[in-house]
Amino acid sequence: MIDIKFLRENPEVVKENIKKKFEDHKLVLVDEVLELDKRNREIKVEVQSMKAEVNQASKQIGALMKAGKKDEAMAAKDEIARHKGRITELETEEKQVEEEIQKRMMVIPQIIDPSVPIGKDDSENVEVERFGEPVVPDFEIPYHTQIMDRFGGIDLDAAGRVAGNGFYYLIGDIARLHSAVISYARDFMINRGFTYVVPPFMIRSNVVTGVMSFDEMDAMMYKIEGEDLYLIGTSEHSMIGRFIDQIIPEEQLPLTLTSYSPCFRKEKGSHGIEERGVYRIHQFEKQEMIVVCRPEESPMWFNKLWQNTVDLFRSMEIPVRTLECCSGDLADLKVKSLDVEAWSPRQKKYFEVGSCSNLGDAQARRLKIRVRDEEGRKYLAHTLNNTVVAPPRMLIAFLENHLQEDGSVTIPEVLRPYMGGTEVLIPKK
């Protein structure tokens, strides 16, 4: 959410930003906000003026009564009553107008960074760099659920009976590999100076609307019936929500945090045959990284965050690339975003395994996350987030890139301590 003062002073800049995101249907919102904002300021001036008149008249009543001018005093009282009635009407209108302004401001997109490429959707995202050599082996690589099944490591049928489509049982070596990756990712981030956190897995509605757009909320969040609670779609939500309505001393910044959580997502829509299995599911686990920092530091942290994910995957000998998200692929709260994609030898292409985002002051403005500097001045923090690793999706890349012709799967050196020293997984089938 942008600053209304910025919109008031730069309406054409805001409109141009909307056009860059190919959301022309939102252009009308800018003019509507300007009209509502004008009316809001008129109301405030009138209320202030009438309150001043009431205060002045109240002082006069005592003097008039002392002077024996009872009729004039009663007339002044009647005038005060009329003014108070009008003030009540204006304050009611003021509240309604501010609610209408807020409703529109919540869907006007954040001003994107000048470096963001302009494009309509994810098909126009721009490859930035590749890390590691993508290899296609001479032997055929089965679909990831078939690889897991050879190890007796997955049961989708039972999960379907228990919870429906989009859920899974991971079993044995595959389940252990899943946990090993999460544990390794946790320690990887701790070793890079991040503080480990296990957050709440449910959040209230005011936090939901503070951390994401309404479109994202509708597509992702599960509501707890009868409660003002939602299951988190990522731990970023509750991690940023931790600082709602807080004033952070500047000397405590940056806050660099890494969090573990299960994640729950509706995943509305049809996503194609390559996204069956455990690629796109309703429940998964994730290690996340979050930074709260000074505005001038957020570009630097953005680069550090995505590099962490690249380094993690390369340490597990998985080739990856980075993609700069174009304007039309950015959620409304994002200033800049970059996807990390892992190589799939089976598909002979890359697929997304992480997303790094700089949200500028958008979440901080909604949640009132402020910083106090040494002089006592307050300003809005910047917030950033990035996926460290999100199995079981990440397991697809891992199994495909480490699968051997005999069906075994090699374990890279960095993961062996988390697998009890195991170097190779041997299939049961």
Check the CA dihedral 328-333-337-340 and report its sign: negative
Place of tokens 């680069």: 303
CB 351 within 8 A of CB 369: no
Of 298, 355, 366, 370, which one is the catalytic site residue? 355
Of 104, 150, 242, 265, which one is the catalytic site residue? 265
242 is catalytic: no
Of 104, 365, 370, 393, which one is the catalytic site residue? 393
Of 124, 352, 372, 408, which one is the catalytic site residue? 352
C-alpha span between 97 and 79 (Å, rounded): 27
Mode of pairing for the β-strands spanning 247-249 and 370-372: parallel
Our CA angle for 371, 376, 379, nearest 5°, is 30
Check the CA dihedral 229-231-233-239 and report its sign: positive
Instruction: Identify residue 193 by its one-letter amino acid code.
Output: G
Of 280, 294, 372, 416, which one is the catalytic site residue? 280
Check whether the bond before 295 is cis (ω within 30° of 0): no
C-alpha span between 339 and 128 (Å, rounded): 10
Q: What is the largest CA-CA distance in the chain?
A: 109
352 is catalytic: yes
* 8-state DSSP, 245: T
C-alpha span between 163 and 167 (Å, rounded): 7
- Exposure on the CB side of residue 23, measured as CA atoms within 13 A: 22
C-alpha span between 6 and 9 (Å, rounded): 5
- φ/ψ of 326, rounded to 5, equals -80, 170
Chain centre to alpha carbon of residue 291: 12
- Exposure on the CB side of residue 167, measured as CA atoms within 13 A: 12
8 is catalytic: no
Instruction: Identify residue 167 by its one-letter amino acid code.
Output: F
Q: Which of 365, 370, 386 is nearest to 235 (CA)?
A: 386
- Residues known to be catalytic: 265, 280, 352, 355, 393
